[in-house]
Structure 1
Amino acid sequence: MDPECSQLLPALCAVLVDPRQPVADDTCLEKLLDWFKTVTEAGSSVLLLQENPCLVELLSRVLVSQDLSPGTLSFSLRLAGIFAAQESCFQYLQQGELLPGLFGELGPRGGTAWTAPAVRSGWTQGLRSLARHPSALHVLADHGILDTIFSLQEDSSLFVASAAGQLLAHILGLSMQGHAQGHPGPQACDWPACAQRIVGHLEEALRSPATPRVARALNALTTMFGHCHSPWTQVLWVRLSPLVARLLEKDPIPAAHPLVDLLLSVARSPVLSSDCGLWETLAQALSHLSPTQAGPLALGILKLQDCGLSLWTLDHHYGHTLGPWAVGGPGLLGGTTSASVTVDALLSSRPACVALLCQTLAHLELLQPMALLLGAAVTILQLCRGSAAPASDVGGRLCVLLAGCVRVQRAALDFLGTLSQGTGPQELVTQVLAVLLAYLESPDSSPMVLKKAFQATLRWLLSLPKAPGCCDLDPKLQLFLRELLAVLQKRLCSPCWEVRDSGLEFLTQVTRHWGGQAGFQHVLLASEVPALAEQLLRDPERYVRASAVTALGQLSGHGLHATSASPGHPGGQQRSPLQDLLHILSTDSEGFPRRAVMQVFTEWLRDGHAEVAEDMERFVARVLQVASRDLDWEVRAQGLELALVFLAQTLSQPSSSCPYAVAPPEVVPPSRLAQALQALCRVRLFEFAFRALFDCDRPVAQKSCELLLFLRAKAGPCDGLQEAGGSPDVASVEAALQRWRVGEQDQPLGDLEPGAVMAVLRSMDLDGLRGTLAESSDHVEKSPQSLLQDVLASVGVLGENEADCY
């Protein structure tokens, strides 16, 4: 411990035991505990107490003081547990009978302070900390501590009850730790007395008719089996599994959710996973639990590796769930089989039916691809639209329950999208596309359902195989696209902005993937979609304008933006969207559209957009001029990204490589460097970058620093480039940068010469600046000394000027 902290400890301990000076901020006490834990983990706790006797005195005063606050009592109990976690310190504290006094009947446990949940919680957490070695078992076995832990499992405070259950599981594992060594499967009758008491208590709780008591026992066992994988746990499970099986025979099953958690915890144990009795219990649970309760258990089993019950689980849980809804399945569209009791119960409640179906759809992707599941998803979507024709009572009731259910529609569309990577019969794929198109066309589809339908449609379109021997789209697919784009036209005119936005997002993605396909280009240009996308640049909703910018960027990148001719004559003269996007960047009042414009411009520059390539310097100069003045930091940061792309291209750096790579970039020859620096000066890139170095938004300054470091590394020694080290140009630039650093950024740099730029770059400590910018926003001092000063200052022991904000 630092000497400065040791000097402050006596005053701190005096404050803690003085009821006239309560520490109101519990957060400071928590931070103190964290600090003490760090100190004890790094060294000897005994030495710490010997060098700071005020800490032992603090614990001793807790035993005799009757008017300490609950917060201080809780802090002291937890602090004692942290010290006693080391066996040597445990023995040291035992010499003074401190631990029995703090945790026994004569301590806070026997006084009025025990009524405070904070004290009971501190007592439990203190014991949890010290129960790290066999010596602690002697304290835990005496002074009625186990009985108190048993009672705390039923505490009115959920936090205390949960902590008591976890402590019980930990003590059971600790008591068996030494006994089980060398004994691969110790018999329960030979277990230590402490372990036998705990197991007996758990057995009694599992037999209890009170569901809360059963749940607490199950939670404790879940913790124990989840953290302890010793051989003796197999004996414990053999002993307790009959009681667990009896719970499954009750109607209703008590504490079903904690019971599922326990079974999954046991199934994940490497010691118990091969136990045949366990799998029989799991099978019994799946058969007796309701479908809603069994869902998490079935999912957990399916996630287990080498699980022999996977197919059984599918048959008994998901099969019962989806089987009647599959295309042609019994009891729905063509069968006459009567519904089971479970299905009858589900169909009697719309919430139960919807909840189970959504839960099942969310988990079934683990089993795809399967034609049964594809057909089931299509059928469910048809049921929700009312387009299915059930021939049974079950199917009719399902149609009534699911009609117009947005929750099921969203889940089914998500699931249908996950199945797009699988293979299925052509007739099923045709049905998939038909049902997706129907949802996109339907006036009853909600905005969120339409969004999910667009997403699922995109996934299916991109996964469809091309026609054999053809590099273009299949004719049937082109026909589907023509119908799809007709629907998209209507959706882009929707009065609901979320629908317009989803339509633009879909257009962007499908163009990004298929913009180079001649068949797609022909269908798209024959529609009104490009013109509508351009019109949405002036949409009143900012999100729509941003999506329109992105969509137009993709369309223009492939030469597919709107034409001045009619839609039926795609050969007409095309208008350039560049001016429209520059106008948005300069005038739009919202940040989202302007950010989208900068991303599009950067992508155009990187990909060599035709109009950008005509006069790249003029394009970059115009964009940087506007972006440098933008009030949105993300626009300025994206402007620096565009500047970096231009810099890399000017220096003939491949745009696909990462300029921030660890390996140093290759040095540019002096002649090419001189030409590149001239171009960079002409577009005023350096004024933008230098000003951004002192930007109040850290990400902007970081990106500028990385850009300049990249340029400096590419320049190398620069032997062939004449640098103006002491010229007036360098002095004026450095003077301007100094004014910018202190916030006076009105004066521009003016025209710069390459030599002056390189001289300034080499004179700046860019590496140091990068290190400073990399520090987090809370890099101010957070030392233990400042924490102790803050605690003391809060109660008036220190003056205000002696405290440091922690």
Structure 2
Amino acid sequence: MSFAGTYCVIMDPECSKLLPALCAVLADPRQPVADDTCLEKLLDWFKTVTEAGSSVLLLQENPCLVELLFQVLKPQDLSSGVLSFSLRLAGILAAQENCFQYLQQGELLRGLFGESGPLGRAAWTAPTVRSGWIQGLRSLAQHPSALHFLVGCGALGTIFSLQGDPSLFVASAAGQLLAHVLALCMRGQAEEHPGPQASDWPTCAQQIVDHVEESLRSADSPQVTQALNVLSTTFGHCHSPWTQALWVRLSPLVACLLEKDPVPAAHSLVDLLLSAARSPVLSADCGLWETLAQTLSHLSCTQAGPLALGVLKLQACPQTLRAQAFGVLLQPLACVLEAAAQAPGLPGLPAGTTGDSVVVDTLLSSKSACVGLLCQTLAHVELLQPMPQRPSPWPQAPLLGAAVAVLRFCNGSAAPTSDVGGRLCVILVGCVRVQRAALDFLGTLAQGLGPQELVTQVLAVLLEYLKSPDSSPTVLKKAFQAALRWLRSSPKPSGCCDMDPHSQQFLRELLPVLQKRLCSPCWEVRDSGLEFLTQLTRRWGGQAGFRHTLLASEVPELAEQLLRDPESYVRASAVNAMGQLSSQGLRATSASPEYPGGQQKSLLLDLLHILSADSEGFPRRAVMQVFTEWLRDGHAEVAEDPEQFVARVLQVASQDLDWEVRAQGLELALVFLAQTLGQPASYCPCTMAPPEVAPPGRLAQALQALCRVRLFEFAFRALFDCDRPVAQKSCDLLLFLRARAAPCGNPQDAGSSPNVASAEAALQRWRAGQQGQPQEDLEPEAVMAVLRSVDLEGLRGALAESSDHVEKSPRSLLQDMLATVGTLVENEADCY
């Protein structure tokens, strides 16, 4: 496509006609201004236009844009939003060097970004204007002409000062702009032979590096932070050879920061060192690794934790530094182990890992410090555990011991023999935040077991938390999740598919606790208990030991009672649990008078009642998911009469107001369709693979069955559903059927059947939204004829587009902005 063609497609004539009126509104301080969201969308559109073609051509064909920018220069009270918009628009346009020169002819850019522009007006006090000024320069700074302009108009000094702006957004943007300009400066001749001396660098780069040097030497911590942030961005985004010269020049100043007590801007220093260590240009610098090692030694334990984790994540790192980082990371847990130990010594921890006295002082200094450090450490080691580059050997046993010790300190069951342990008990008892972090950590450690004695302790402390009346709902949920992970990881006895004896004993002790939790007055606890039961049943429902233990408890009956829970989340979880129990044949036979002779009431009827009568969407969605699983897996109650089951479910689901229920109904219909055709429901209409066509005899039988369950009525109605995901699923289902009925889908004899007209009439009524009227039964021949005549591929393409691609087109945006102004003006007139 030619350039002119591309331009015309994006900037259609209607938009060009609307632009002058909109620019006039924006330039008039008396006119009400469109909101910031509209201006952002307008900027996005202009960026798209300039990326597709020439900015100069855009301005020549739409001179109102230049007029708007010149209007901004006049001393008038334009809103901060319009000023910011204009500055950013100018930057987008001037990103192309020829357009930069075009705008510079009238000194327009100097007026916008120089000292005579918004910088000298009262509007500069608005953070929006300062942010727009920075973003405009960020867009503009793409070519050598922009660099000369930045130096010549004095913009660099303003950017330096904006690094300390009270608005964090402005300050951050200023730092990023400096890093971008520095990288742009060094793309020229200095990149080929960069030297560490400032005289070898372009003028603009010299000014920036001199400013960074001065800030690093400053006694003002915020200035140090600003300099470190610029360097972090530079080393993180630019890996050119010149960055090595920059590091050689500035690394001594960075190292000098470690001599101060406390180390200033520690968080930013950590970010910088990790950015430098990840750079392929700097990773071979031995001095960098030495600085990292010194930093680990000088930072406080709270500050050193993120650095230690970052070092251990590095792919290439000296082994000695990795060992040091791992020791620093484990120090807080080593202190906990020492405080809880009955005997001295910490077997299993890496050499050099000890309970440092400084770390102990931090843990005991205050509750907030102790909680913060422990939560950070547990989270960091948890992240490290599954990584392939984690330290080896992995100290699984000490970590398990530390996790158990933390949990015992928190629930008051620890018996410390030292003053440190006693004080930790006082600080941590009842601390929910640490309990949650420790339970998450303990669950992660289930990926690698440990000595049986420790595993027994793990299961015991989990049982303590699940039994304790003091455990909060969130802690109970975490305890259930950790227990499930440990049960899943338990080794299977040789020659047996059941749990090992220790896990079976844990489960026998756990089920009475679960039984109690299902009766909790707190709905979150009941919900967590049901989720745990569902996962247990899904994993071990076929194992004899689990089945016997579960059926000996009252858990299945309690779960069934919760189908009528007052809380909808609990009802939904109960539906999932009962669906899983029923699939495994684990519903207990009731001997109550309600069920004489021990006969069970049909769970299918209960779930159908929930689907048709429950006022909340969550339980109804859960029912549809269970029904789909039942149909797919051949559940006993479904297998008796699949057609009747599908017909009843689709009849109810088609009337549901929740789009997710209707969408799940289509998923169930697809499973039934595939089973009826004797094929897997795995066809994707987007693939180019040829579909497997069903034999004619089977196809005819299948179509009869599909008509009997009224699947086509449900699918054709859904095809015109107001909720796009439902229509998309229906489209996929019908394409699935058509591909198996006839691979080419040629519309032969589309009008030969006398019932085709009635089927097409039904389609039209459904399309018009008249879906509440009873319809005539559709015959297979008519259905297939209409199915072949419908442009399903075109409909699928239309549905794949954003639902607002028409309403939010550039033309519509311009019209809406102008209409809003007109409405506001009319309303003002009506007031008088």
TM-score where L is the length of structure 1: 0.91
Are the aligned partners of 1:383 and 1:403 in contact in 2 as well (CA < 8 Å)?
Answer: yes
- 2:379 corresponding residue in structure 1: 362
2:676 corresponds to 1:646:
no
Provide the rounded CA distance (Å) in 1 between the counterparts of 2:85 and 2:782. 62
Partner of 1:251: 261
Question: Out of 334, 337, 341, which is 2:343 matched to?
Answer: 334
Equivalent positions of 1:756-795 (< 5 A) are 756-795=782-821
Corresponding residue of 2:97? 87
How far off its partner does 1:349 sit? 0.6
Q: Secondary structure at the match of 1:135?
A: helix
Partner Cα separation in structure 2 for residue 683 and residue 728 of structure 1: 22
Deviations 1:303-353 (A, max 9, x none): 221222663344442221111223xx4774433999603311321211111
Is contact 2:490–2:500 with CA below 8 Å preserved after alignment? no
Q: Mapping of 1:131-210 within 5 angstroms?
A: 131-183=141-193, 185-210=195-220
Separation of aligned partners in 1, 2:613 and 2:114? 73
Aligned to 2:8: none
Is 1:105 the counterpart of 2:131? The answer is no
RMSD of the TM alignment (CA)? 2.9
Matching residue of 2:440 = 414
Show CA shifts across 1:97-121 (max 9, x none): 3333433333333445444444333
Of residues 59-68 and 692-701 in structure 1, the stretch that sits farther from structure 2 once superposed is 59-68
Q: Helix, strand or coil for the counterpart of 1:177?
A: coil
- The residue number in structure 1 matching 2:332 is 321
Contact 2:589–2:598 (8 Å) recurs in 1: yes
Task: Give the Cα separation in 1 of the matches to 2:340 and 2:456.
Answer: 24
Return 218-227 or 454-463, whichever deviates more: 218-227
Shift of 1:93: 3.3
Structure 2 vs 1, CA of residues 752 and 34 (structure 1 numbering), >3 Å: closer, same or farther? Answer: closer
Q: CA offsets, 1:500-537, max 9 Å, x none? A: 11111111111111111122112212222222222222
Task: After superposing the two structures, state which structure 1 stretch, 589-598 or 406-415, moved more.
Answer: 589-598
The answer to whether the Cα contact below 8 Å between 2:551 and 2:586 also exists between their aligned partners in 1 is yes
Q: 1:660 to 1:415 in 2, by over 3 A?
A: farther
Matched, 1:553 2:579: yes
Is the 8 Å Cα contact of residues 687 and 748 (structure 1) preserved in structure 2? no
Q: CA deviation at 1:461?
A: 0.7
State the distance in 1 between where 2:355 and 2:196 align: 52
Change (3 A) 1:314 1:388: farther
| Counterparts of residues 566-577 of structure 1 (less than 5 Å) | 576-577=602-603
CA distance 1:386–1:761, change in 2 (3 Å): same
* Partner-residue secondary structure (3-state), 2:566: coil
Q: Give the drift of 1:561.
A: 0.8
Is it true that 1:343 corresponds to 2:348 in the alignment? Answer: no
Determine the C-alpha separation between the residues in 2 that align with 1:793 and 1:597.
47
Once residues 51 and 146 of structure 2 are traced to their aligned partners in structure 1, the CA distance between those partners, rounded to angstroms, is 18
Q: Which amino acid aligns with 2:216?
A: L
Deviating more after overlay: 384-393 vs 502-511: 384-393
| Equivalent position of 2:518 in the other structure | 492
Q: Does 1:711 align with 2:720?
A: no
Percent identity reads 79
Once the two structures are TM-superposed, the CA of residue 660 in structure 1 deviates from its matched residue by 5.2
Distance 1:214 1:604, change over 3 A: same
- The code of the aligned residue for 1:379 comes to A
Alpha-carbon spacing, 1:498–1:783, altered in 2? closer, same or farther (3 Å): closer
In the alignment, the residues of structure 1 paired with residue 670 and residue 478 of structure 2 have an alpha-carbon distance, to the nearest angstrom, of 37
Determine whether 1:466 maps to 2:492.
yes
Closer, same or farther: CA 476–205 of 1 in aligned 2, 3 Å: closer
Distance of aligned partners of 1:371 and 1:786 in 2 relative to their CA distance in 1, 3 Å threshold: same
- Report the alpha carbon displacement of residue 606 of structure 1 after superposing the two structures with TM: 0.6
Show CA shifts across 1:37-83 (max 9, x none).
22222222333334444444444444454554444443333333223
**Residue equivalent to 1:803:** none
Change (3 A) 1:701 1:190: closer
The answer as to whether partners of 1:333 and 1:392 remain within 8 angstroms in 2 is no
Tell me which residue corresponds to 1:600. 626
The amino acid that maps onto 1:765 is D
Q: Is the 8 A contact 1:121 1:159 kept in 2?
A: yes
- Separation (CA, whole Å) in 2 of partners of 1:573 and 1:526: 18
Q: Deviations over 1:218-273 (max 9, x none)?
A: 22222222222222222222222232223233223322222222222222222122
Aligned position for 1:453: 479
Residue 399 of structure 2 corresponds to 373
Letter in 2 for 1:424: G
CA contact (8 A) 1:617 1:683 kept: yes
Partner of 1:513: 539
Return closer, same or farther for 1:169/1:423 CA change in 2, 3 Å cut-off.
same
Cα pair 1:534 1:548 within 8 Å, conserved:
yes
Q: Indicate how the Cα distance of structure 1 residues 204 and 717 shifts in structure 2: closer, same or farther if over 3 A, else same.
A: closer
**Does 1:676 pair with 2:702?**
yes
1:718-774 deviation per Cα after TM superposition (whole angstroms, max 9, x unaligned): 99x998944443323322332222222232223332222222323333333333333
In the alignment, the residues of structure 2 paired with residue 228 and residue 11 of structure 1 have an alpha-carbon distance, to the nearest angstrom, of: 43
In structure 1, C-alpha distance between the alignment counterparts of 2:181 and 2:146, rounded to whole Å: 10
Q: How many residues align?
A: 792
Is the 2:311–2:325 contact (alpha carbons within 8 Å) kept by the matching residues of 1? no
| CA distance in structure 2 between the partners assigned to 1:93 and 1:746 by the alignment | 63
8 Å contact 2:397–2:450 — kept in the other structure? yes
Q: Structure 1, unaligned stretches of length 5 or more? A: 801-806
Q: Is the contact between residue 490 and residue 499 of structure 2 (CA under 8 Å) also seen in structure 1?
A: no
Letter of the 1:311 partner, please give it.
R
SS in 1 for 2:186: helix
Q: How far is 1:422 from its partner?
A: 0.8
* Deviation of 1:664 (Å): 4.1
Q: 1:579 to 1:67 in 2, by over 3 A?
A: closer
Structure-2 separation of matches of 1:120 and 1:456: 50
**Distance of aligned partners of 1:325 and 1:742 in 2 relative to their CA distance in 1, 3 Å threshold:** same
Return the letter of the residue paired with 2:704. Q
Please say if 1:477 is aligned against 2:503.
yes
Q: What TM-score comes out, normalization by structure 2 length? A: 0.89
Equivalent of residue 415 in structure 2, options 344, 364, 389: 389
Q: 1:331 to 1:496 in 2, by over 3 A?
A: closer
**In structure 2, do the counterparts of structure 1 residues 242 and 793 end up closer, same or farther at CA, with 3 Å as the change threshold?**
same
Distance 2:22 2:655 in 1: 53
Give the letter aligned to residue 739 of structure 2.
A
The 8 Å contact of residues 78 and 122 in structure 1, kept in 2 or not, is answered as yes
- Write the letter of the residue equivalent to 1:335: P
Structure 2: gaps of 5 or more residues: 1-10, 346-353, 386-393, 827-832
Aligned partners of 2:355, 2:127: CA distance in 1, in Å?
Answer: 55
Q: Distance in 2 between matches of 1:724 and 1:79?
A: 56
Match of 1:744, SS? coil
- Quote the offset at 1:596 in angstroms: 1.5
8 Å CA contact retained: 1:736, 1:747: no
CA shift, 1:637, in A, is 1.9
Cα–Cα, structure 1 residues 419 and 157, in superposed 2: closer, same or farther, change >3 Å? closer
